[in-house]
Structure 1
Amino acid sequence: MTASATAALPDIDIAFIGGGNMARSLIAGLVRRGMPTARIHVAEPVPALREALAQDFGVQTHSAAADAVVRAGLWLMAVKPQVMREVCASLAAVATQQQPVVVSIAAGITATQLERWLGGNQSIVRAMPNTPALLGAGVTGLFANAQVSATQRAQAEQVLASAGRTVWIADEARMDAVTAVSGSGPAYVFLLAEAMEAAALEQGLPAEAARTLVLDTVLGAARMLTESGEAPAELRRRVTSPGGTTQAAIETFQAGGFEALTAKAIDAAARRGKELSAAND
């Protein structure tokens, strides 16, 4: 496993197949870092989304995927898992001819499936970004199949690094765990914040104060985790004084099986990723 915080811009044309929120975040990051908009093509069937992409970023937009990939050396597949097979089949002949590096951000769809649907012998990178990519603060797990060259690997990393840090995973079987930990992970934090805010209101705090206290606590804790260099367990130990208020809360969490429940939740998400793969094969 390797991690990277920044990467240079790819020196190729890029085709985004699908122009939804995650594609928009990656496009925004590339444009912000100086990628020429003439080299970014987006296939999006919904006219309103297509027009917004062209207006907001100045990129080249197309209604058909086949038109978007004509000159692209990297294809970023940003469609739902349920339609990925159909979309790949429509592009298989072009993929066989052009031999691009194909990057997929669809949860649960394996590199083997993508390679087969695209006609075989294709360079495939699976990527799992998360929603903080919308702010350029995401993290993406990446897996490359054996056909991906060192240059193509760098190109894929350069695109995903526009949305935040990247982490390479050597074993594709672990990509479902990436999805469960970081892909779905922001929702776990949102759920905790939601529960903390509700509890604050029950304690009698005004709504505005409760929201501010919870959000800034989550933000500050995240900054401490990322900037201090200390392990989460050590940071928790430092703020948990024996016999104090924090210890009372932590002991209540643990008595309710907090750690086991978290592990169970992440396992459920990972298993769902495997189910998506099987359901769409």
Structure 2
Amino acid sequence: MHSPLRYGNKVYPKLGFIGAGNMAKAIIVGLIKTGYPAAEICVSSPSEIRRAALSHEYGVSHHHDNIQNALDADVIILAVKPQMMQAVCELLRQHVNLSNKLLVTLAAGIEVAQYQVWLGDEIEIIRVMPNTPAIIGEGVSGIYASDKASGQAKMFVEKLMQSVGLVHTLKQEEQMHAFIATAGSAPAYFFKFMQAMQEAAIKLGCSDEEAKLLVLQSAKGAVLLAEAAESNTFEALAQQVTSKGGTTEQALNAFVKGDLFSLVYDAMKAASDKSRTMSAGKR
């Protein structure tokens, strides 16, 4: 049991999740595992199946009406897709007094200034960008708080997101683009590299299941080894595995010949550039 989360004069303020997708579910599961009362969490979504499933499995309340959910909540968590966000926000502004609410948004590519257009200049809003390992409590979340957000609000959201992994606080909103490229999209990079290794292993004589098991355990072991050797760089760790004239050196030479580092940079820059494009309203 973790220490209680406080916001304003409330211990365990009422959370209203608008949207019932995977990331909303990940946060709800993480919160309940760390002791947040299910009775203080409500989910609203057009999908009765999704919200009812969350209610049945975790004991949270659910509602078909976003407005009622927002009215009841102390903290409104916007967990809808970016293309739906404007409509949701404009509806909230018409029907809910947001002056005493904290808003948290999980959407990629929408900056604080845009939310202020949709919801009003004085809103207290914090952007959060979790990555998908948050679903198993091993994520990393980038957090950027607007100028209107209080220190108490920032602390609350940081503790909220610690329920699903590491929290990285950004001092400038501009840093969100680099965060998305480095952490937000990163799980897919590793999965693709693991896929490439699995397919290569099959061509070299492993069965499909053997290749998957060997790649998966090797990736897991490498991560644990890197965590245990905090003082070493990734480069130094690679050198520790490499003998002069040996098999690993030949593999790494092939990576150099294929310009792996430039390829990785190009991929991450493409992700960052896309984030900037989305922030400019070109989704």
For normalisation by structure 1, the TM-score amounts to 0.94
**CA apart distance, 1:94:** 5.1
Instruction: Tell me which residue corresponds to 2:75.
Output: 74
Distance 1:58 1:42, change over 3 A: same
CA contact (8 A) 1:38 1:59 kept: yes
SS, match of residue 69 in structure 1: helix
State yes or no: 1:24 paired with 2:20.
no
* CA RMSD across the alignment: 1.6
Q: Which residue of 2 aligns with 1:47?
A: 48
Residue 17 of structure 1: how far off its partner (Å): 0.9
Q: Secondary structure at the match of 1:220?
A: helix
- Of residues 234, 237, 242 in structure 1, which corresponds to 2:236? 234
**Matched letter for residue 87 of structure 1:** V
C-alpha separation in 1, matches of 2:49 and 2:208 = 37
- The one-letter amino acid of 1:12's match is P
What residue number does 1:195 align with?
196
User: Which range moves more in the overlay, 250-259 or 97-106?
Assistant: 97-106
Could you tell me how far apart the structure 1 residues matched to 2:96 and 2:80 are? 17
Give a deviation string over 1:7-30, Cα, whole Å, max 9, x none. Answer: 853431111110100100000000
Question: Who is 2:5 aligned against?
Answer: 9
Using the TM superposition, give the Cα deviation of residue 215 of structure 1 relative to its aligned residue in structure 2, in angstroms: 0.5
Matches within 5 A, 1:130-169: 130-169=131-170
Structure 2 unaligned regions, length at least 5: 7-11
Give the whole-Å Cα distance in 1 for the aligned partners of 2:242 and 2:69: 55
My pick for the range that moved more, 177-186 or 90-99, is 90-99
SS at match of 1:70: helix
| Residues 114-123 or 83-92, more deviating | 114-123
Alpha-carbon distance in structure 1 between the residues aligned to 2:177 and 2:208: 38
**1:130-165 alpha-carbon deviations (Å, 9 max, x no partner):** 110110000001111111111100111122111101
Say which SS state the counterpart of residue 165 (structure 1) adopts: strand
TM-score, normalised with respect to structure 2: 0.93
Partner of 2:106: 105
Q: State how far apart, in whole Å, the 2-side matches of 1:79 and 1:156 are.
A: 18
Contact 2:75–2:102 under 8 Å retained in 1: yes
Distance 1:8 1:38 in 2: 14
Superposed CA offset, 1:28-75 (max 9, x none) = 000111111111111111011011011011101111211112232211
Give the length in aligned residue pairs.
276
Counterpart AA for 2:149: V
* CA-to-aligned-CA distance 1:173-193 (integer Å, 9 cap, x gap): 110111111111000000000
Structure number with the bigger relative contact order (C-alpha 8 A, sep ≥ 6) is 1
Aligned mates of 2:214, 2:257 — CA distance in 1: 25
Residue identity in the other structure for 1:239? V
Residue 95 (structure 1) shift: 5.3
**Amino acid corresponding to residue 26 of structure 1 in structure 2:** I
Q: Deviations over 1:88-121 (max 9, x none)?
A: 1111145544432211111111011112211221
Q: Is the 8 A contact 1:9 1:30 kept in 2?
A: no
AA partner of residue 82 (structure 1):
Q
Residue in structure 1 matched with residue 115 of structure 2 by the alignment? 114
Q: Give the match's secondary structure for 2:174.
A: helix
User: For residues 99 and 167 of structure 1, what CA distance do their matches in structure 2 show?
Assistant: 26
Contact 2:78 2:105 (C-alpha < 8 Å) held by counterparts: yes
Equivalent pair of 1:133/1:164 in contact (CA under 8 Å): yes
* Deviant stretches of 4+, over 6 Å: none
Q: Distance in 1 between matches of 2:176 and 2:276?
A: 10
SS in 1 for 2:72: coil
Could you list the per-position Cα deviations for residues 201-254 of structure 1 after superposition, in whole angstroms to 9, with x for gaps in the alignment? Answer: 000112221111000011111112223213212211211222211111111111
User: Which is worse superposed, 19-28 or 206-215?
Assistant: 206-215
What residue ranges of structure 1 are gaps of 5+ in the alignment? Answer: 1-5
